Amino acid sequence: MSYLEITNMEISFPTPKGKYIAVKDINLSIAKGEIVSIIGHSGCGKSTIMNAIGGMLLPTGGTVILNDKKIKAPGPDRGIVFQNYSLLPWLSVYQNIFQAVDAVMTCSKSEKHVIVENNLKMVNLYDHKNKLPGQLSGGMKQRVAIARAFAINPSVLLLDEPFGALDALTKGTMHLELLKLWNLDNREKTIIMVTHDIEEAIFLSDRIIVMNDGPSATIREIENVHIPRPRNKLDIVNSSEYKAIRDRLLHLLTDKFSVEDLGIKYKN
């Protein structure tokens, strides 16, 4: 059995109009140390799948097994960056990260402070450590959430659109930091990431899961990215492998949209 094994998973929600099936027939085996991206249109159930792996949501059908154990609740083996950052608004940047480290790590207080400081420096927020989340921009909040997830050094990192609010330069830096963290840990950390960014998905991933649209969304296709590591962004964009995957993803994700679909009528 793989490290993470999702079998026949279905997740539905009760709604006033009856049962809403968000995702179904999800079968996925992920190896330890793999980097996998999930990509698909808004509302296709990407966050729902992440929440099931995180243990915040129990599937209504099928199973999610991590390291031979059925996932029933969140745990310190999984670090999560939520789509909406979910920082505690009454705690400073520093305290938001320290609280997570303190809850999970067993080292001394002074070691915990070193971990928090190192991770704050990694995301370039050390000078903002005493601010409250309400005093930060979206991109800064996102970086606090990333530092918090990295700081607890989990064996599985679940990242739900973690770099979406970042400018291109910061995003590039965070990609390298993520890979650095993965390399430091002998590439044993398993990383599952939701993204809308095709180039980001190819640069980072071993595999890319492309979802169908919902309701009752299923996995449409899985792309393997065989580009050797370490990858250099400037070099890989010219490789035929990169271009083939990019074109395939563009085709899968944009084939539905045309000017006609938008209902726009042009006069001759």
Ligand X SMILES: Nc1ncnc2c1ncn2[C@@H]1O[C@H](COP(=O)(O)OP(=O)(O)O)[C@@H](O)[C@H]1O
> Dihedral angle at the C-alpha atoms of 113, 178, 156, 151, nearest 10 degrees?
10
C-alpha 21/C-alpha 216 separation (Å) is 5
Q: Using only the alpha carbons of the chain, give its radius of gyration.
A: 19
Closest CA to 71 of 202, 163, 242, 192: 192
| Region from 12-20, 108-116, 170-178, 251-259 binding ligand X, contact rule CB under 6 A | 12-20
C-alpha 187/C-alpha 33 separation (Å) is 5
> Minimal distance in Å, beta carbon 247 to ligand X?
23
- Contact call for residue 142 and Mg ion (CB under 5 A): no
**3-class SS at 171?**
helix
> Pattern of binders to ligand X over 60-99, x per CB under 6 A?
----------------------------------------
- Contact call for residue 47 and Mg ion (CB under 5 A): yes
Closest CA to 178 of 167, 166, 163: 163
Tell me which DSSP letter residue 69 carries.
E
Task: Give how far Cα 238 sits from Cα of 26, 225, 246, 262, Å.
Answer: 33, 15, 11, 33
State which residue, 44 or 151, has the beta carbon closest to ligand X. Answer: 44
> Minimal distance in Å, beta carbon 131 to Mg ion?
26
- Contact call for residue 162 and ligand X (CB under 6 A): no
Question: Could you tell me the maximum CA-CA distance found in the chain, to the nearest angstrom?
Answer: 73
> Pattern of binders to ligand X over 35-54, x per CB under 6 A?
-----x-xxxxxxx------
* Range 64-93, binding Mg ion (CB under 5 A): 83
State which residue, 149 or 152, has the beta carbon closest to ligand X. Answer: 149
State which residue, 20 or 126, has the beta carbon closest to ligand X. Answer: 20
Q: Which of 177, 214, 219, 242 binds ligand X (CB under 6 A)?
A: 214
Please give the size of the binding site for ligand X, defined by CB under 6 A: 13
Residues that bind ligand X (CB under 6 A): 13, 15, 20, 22, 40, 42-48, 214
Residues that bind Mg ion (CB under 5 A): 46-47, 83
